[in-house]
Structure formats: structure tokens, C-alpha cells
Amino acid sequence: MSCSAIVRGNTVIFTATFYDQTGAVITPLAALTRLVYEVAGTPTTDMLPMVNDDGTWTAAWDSSVADVGTVYWHTQSTGSPAAAEDGSFAISANVSNPQT
């Protein structure tokens, strides 16, 4: 995933293709994306199972629940070989975009 900011209320789509150390695409048994963000000032963790569609794994997250601020994510495959990636992005909103 590559972005710097998302407006609260948008659905965020995470995509991943996993590679081994030689650069060959691998098809793990499963994959998930872990998110950490704040809701009403309390750190919250979501685990999003990813779905495989011909080698591309995807998961969707509704950002309307999050406070304005940084969302940290970690995507990983399960099984061997393992592959993972970390990142973050910002949730932005103005006063006319209330948290639901």
C-alpha cells in the first residue's frame, strides 16, 4: 500500500503480492493485515483476513470508526516462506466530518 493520508469515512483497500527471496511470487496458506489506530483516544487493533485473487491478496477497512491521526498497518503471510511489510498513513477530517 502506498498513500500518505485518507479522509475519514473512505474504505481503505490493502493489497499485497508476496515474494520469496529470489523474487518469485509465493502463494501462502493465508494472509492478514493488522491495523492499530485510535477510537475515542483508545488504541484499537483490527485483524483483517486477506482474500487471494490470483496471487493478489486484498482486505478492506472502513475508516469511519477511527480518530484523526496515524493508522499503523502490518501485512503478513502465514506458512513458509513468510513475508511481511509494515507501513502507516494518516486519517484526516474536518469539523463537518464527524466520527461515527
Residue spans per domain, the chain = 5-92
10 pLDDT exceeds 60?
yes
Instruction: Read off the pLDDT of each residue in 46-72 and give the average, rounded to a whole number.
Output: 95
**DSSP strands (E only) in 50-100:** 51-53, 56-62, 69-78, 84-92
Rounded CA-CA distance 60/83 in Å is 20
The confidence band for 96, taking pLDDT boundaries of 50, 70 and 90, is confident
CATH code: domain 5-92 is 2.60.40.10
The DSSP H or E segment spanning 16 is strand 11-16
Instruction: Read off the pLDDT of each residue in 37-46 and give the average, rounded to a whole number.
Output: 97
Q: Is residue 63 a contact partner of residue 48, using CB atoms and an 8 Å limit?
A: no
Give the Å distances, CA to CA, from 8 to 4, 17, 92: 13, 26, 6
